[in-house]
Amino acid sequence: MAEPATPAVSVPMVRIRPPQPWEALDLSGLWRYRDLLLALAVRDIKLRYRQTVLGVLWVLLQPLLGAGIFAFVFGRVARLDSGGEPYVLFAYAGLVVWNLFSGVVLKASGSLLANASLVSKVFFPRLLLPFSGALSTLLDFAISLIVGVILLCVSGHTPGPALLLAPFWLFFLLLLATGIGLLSSALAVSYRDVVHVLPVGLQFLLYGSPVGYTIAVIPDGLPRMLYKLNPLAPLIEGFRVSVLGHGFVGLRSGSYACVVATLIFVTGLIVFRRMERQFADVI
Amino acid sequence: MSSDLVISARGVGKTFRVASTQHRATTLAELVAQKLRKPFTRHQREREFTALDDVSFEVRRGEVLGIIGRNGAGKSTLLKILSQITPPTRGEIDLYGRVGSLLEVGTGFHPELTGRENIYLNGAILGMSRAEIGREFDDIVSFAETEQFLDVPVKRYSSGMYVRLAFSVAAHLRPDILIVDEVLAVGDLAFQRKCLGKMDEVAREDGRAVLLVSHNAAAVRALCGRALLLDRGQVVHDGEVNDVLRSYLDIEPSGAAVLTWTDKTAPQEGGFRYSSVSVLNSRGEPAAVLSHDEPFTIRLEYELDRPLPGLRVGFLMQTTEGVEVCGSNDVHVADPEERVPGRQVSECRFPAHVLNEGRYQLRFGADVPNGPVYILTPYCLEFSVEDHERHGE
């Protein structure tokens, strides 16, 4: 084997010592272990659709069926305003990002418990687990985007320049989702309550976010004020606006969402890194 | 600092805080309730448990170091610290080189994935790059002897195939420092020998360092030049492997093949009561591990409440696989007149070179034909016989 011989160094490659407080924000491990990050994400994807008849088709069916239900409930029964868009298209745009958000949160938060044997038997940066969960969800998202594009074409939409902002909204949506995922995955190692609380919280958030309706239908006054506390709302609305080209997201609520998303991500990261050294002992 | 140093551990210790279970919060609600009730008493009712204390040692390139000690001595904790799975609470370890650790065979194997997929995944988990796995792929497959089943999910594998494939991936890991825990006890005998050979090869090649934790004294003796004996979290002996193995047997009370009964628990009937049974090595000390070239003795101690004419006392021996080996009793040698009430001893002496290498089990009996005593215990005492010379092959 033409393995490069390790140079005779007198500087240790690794120094193992009691945890130091300032190591939290060092993300270089993620890059050094990128092969494993990818391998874990690929495993997730393969396992999700193995032994299913429809396979990856489920990625398309889930948001389509969901959009159909939303279109019926909100559009037909409740007769909410979609800003002139076909309700299915409108709801699909919302659901696609919502699925991305909840998928990342759920995948990331369960990642440590699902891989408990790895955590207690092998060394690698623990961050790989929530991040690989997030990564595998991104692929689903990419596939459902393709269907979105087809839907757009069929309905005769030509995206405007606002489309350029879509990646911006997605980025902060991912920060928010990953931050929540990191936080809850670390907490779930010691406190399994998180596993039970999270789905309930997500369900609450689904109806508290403009997935099946627009912010415009929220009455002014106190409800509107409370609604604006939800950092996810402008991110979802922002994505839909930039794709469909109708409506707008206020600068204030937009920047509020971005700041909160960043703060939650950083908090999640710090909490995760501070707790990660005990994972193997506790899990 | 010399350049062939690969591991340098200085004063490493690990203390766990163990909260007594009634007081430990395992749900968020409990934690909150606890903090609300007594916000300022932190860590109350917690006991400290020191798993490792002041462990220092060095390993040089090309060395194969065995780490031995009975259960709970701190071996696994030390390995986990060295593999960076869990941090120490005191001390420092410097590692000069890439570490590959094998604390379990097949960690990360997923039953739904095929053999091929698992090789790549497991390799990545163990720290190999995709390119490295690609280069070793054919070797891995042929070493594991699972060529025909590469594209079958491993849940359809026999357990033997599964273990062979898992070990094979691990054996082709090429770190500078290889840390191995108990994984040698896998597969059938032939595959175990193959694994031992592979470990030996890894150690010799390019002067890598190997750390091996094992209960298998024979494997440690065969592979390691030097050994470290841990007892209650401390290094009690660091030196040449045979010396260390000897002191291991000395400190290992459960390693001595002795079984002693109290009056209540003893097998007893009709005025006969066993008090203790043991296997003695050539020095007359109780020992669970014998060398094949030493004579040994099986010793039975018992008490008689009254004279029992015609009493026979004996044992049966089988291998741990259940093959009957031999049995003996004292009917031909014991003079019934001599056995007065009180404590009695019967011994069976074996010359050297009688038993093959292996593990053996004993059960004990006593009877008076058509009389008041009939006792046959289950297999209750184990010992093993080792043959050092055969490990050179």
CATH code, B58: 3.40.50.300
Q: How many residues does chain A have?
A: 283
In a domain, residue B37? The reply is no
In a domain, residue A100? The reply is yes
Tokens representing A31?
């890059």
In a domain, residue B295? The reply is yes
Chain A residue numbers touching B90 (CB-CB < 8 A): 18
pLDDT in the model for residue A102: 95
* Residue B315: alpha-carbon gap to chain centroid: 26
Together in a domain, B301 and B156: no
In a domain, residue B267? The reply is yes
In a domain, residue B94? The reply is yes
In a domain, residue B242? The reply is yes
Structure confidence at residue A129 as a pLDDT band (50, 70, 90): very high
Structure confidence at residue A183 as a pLDDT band (50, 70, 90): very high
Together in a domain, B80 and B140: yes
In a domain, residue A91? The reply is yes
Last residue of a domain, one of B186, B217, B252: B252
Tokens representing B10?
């200085």
Q: Above pLDDT 70, what percent of chain A?
A: 93
Q: What is the pLDDT of residues B299-354, one digit of tens each?
A: 999 999 988 888 889 999 988 767 889 999 887 776 656 678 889 899 999 999 89
Of B85, B97, B130, the CB nearest to A120: B85
Mean pLDDT rounded to a whole number for chain B: 81
Cβ–Cβ of A123/B113 closer than 8 Å? no
- Determine which of A3, A6, A50 to mutate to test the interface with B (most B C-beta atoms within 10 Å): A6
Average pLDDT, integer, range A127-131: 93
pLDDT above 80: residue B105:
no
Contact of A122 with chain B, judged by CB distance below 8 Å, is answered with yes
Q: Which of residues 172-201 of A touch B (CB under 8 A)?
A: 187, 190-194
In a domain, residue A213? The reply is yes
Q: Please, which residues have CB within 8 angstroms of residue B52's CB and are 6 or more apart in sequence?
A: B12, B13, B14, B74, B77, B78, B81, B88, B233, B234
Q: What is the pLDDT of residues B106-146, one digit of tens each?
A: 778 888 889 999 998 888 888 888 888 899 899 889 888 88
What CA dihedral angle connects A116, A118, A120 and A124, to 10 degrees? -130
Q: How many domains does chain A have?
A: 1
Cβ-Cβ contacts under 8 Å between A and B: the total is 123
In a domain, residue B151? The reply is yes
CATH number of B334's domain: 2.70.50.60
Could you count the other beta carbons within 10 Å of the beta carbon of residue B318? 16
pLDDT in the model for residue A9: 46
pTM of the model: 0.72
Cβ–Cβ of A46/B113 closer than 8 Å? yes
Strand order across the beta sheet in which B177-181 lies: B99-102, B177-181, B209-213, B64-68, B226-231, B234-240
Cβ–Cβ of B124/A18 closer than 8 Å? no
Rounded CA separation A8/A61 (Å): 57
Domain residues for B199? 5-10+52-252
Cβ–Cβ of A118/B107 closer than 8 Å? yes
Chain B residue numbers touching A12 (CB-CB < 8 A): 8, 94-96
Together in a domain, B293 and B342: yes
Together in a domain, B241 and B378: no
Cβ–Cβ of B27/A193 closer than 8 Å? yes
Q: Which of A90, A242, A269 is nearest to A170 (CA)?
A: A242
Q: Which of A142, A148, A140 is nearest to A86 (CA)?
A: A148
Q: Please, which residues have CB within 8 angstroms of residue A173's CB and are 6 or more apart in sequence?
A: A97, A100, A101, A232, A235, A236, A239, A261
Last residue of a domain, one of B252, B269, B285: B252
Average pLDDT, integer, range B275-279: 92
Rounded CA separation B256/B246 (Å): 12
- Determine which of B5, B31, B85, B133 to mutate to test the interface with A (most A C-beta atoms within 10 Å): B85
Chain B residue numbers touching A40 (CB-CB < 8 A): 121, 124
- B112 → chain A, closest CA residue: A47
Last residue of a domain, one of B202, B226, B252: B252
Q: What is the pLDDT of residues B142-199, one digit of tens each?
A: 888 888 888 998 889 887 788 888 888 877 877 788 888 765 555 566 676 677 777 7
Together in a domain, B243 and B98: yes
Q: Please, which residues have CB within 8 angstroms of residue B125's CB and are 6 or more apart in sequence?
A: A36, A39, A118, A122, A124, B107, B108
In a domain, residue A14? The reply is no
- B32 → chain A, closest CA residue: A191
In a domain, residue A9? The reply is no
In a domain, residue A152? The reply is yes
In a domain, residue A60? The reply is yes
Together in a domain, B237 and B297: no
Q: What is the pLDDT of residues B212-271, one digit of tens each?
A: 887 666 667 777 889 998 888 888 888 888 888 877 766 654 456 788 887 777 888 888
Cβ–Cβ of A51/B112 closer than 8 Å? yes
Q: How many domains does chain B have?
A: 2
pLDDT in the model for residue A192: 87
Of A36, A121, A190, the CB nearest to B104: A121
In a domain, residue A110? The reply is yes
Let me know: does B383 contact B360? Beta carbons within 8 Å: yes
Q: Which of A252, A270, A251, A258 is nearest to A232 (CA)?
A: A258
Average pLDDT, integer, range A9-23: 66
Q: Above pLDDT 70, what percent of chain B?
A: 82
Rounded CA separation B152/B168 (Å): 17
In a domain, residue B33? The reply is no
Pairing state of beta strands B296-304 and B272-280?
antiparallel
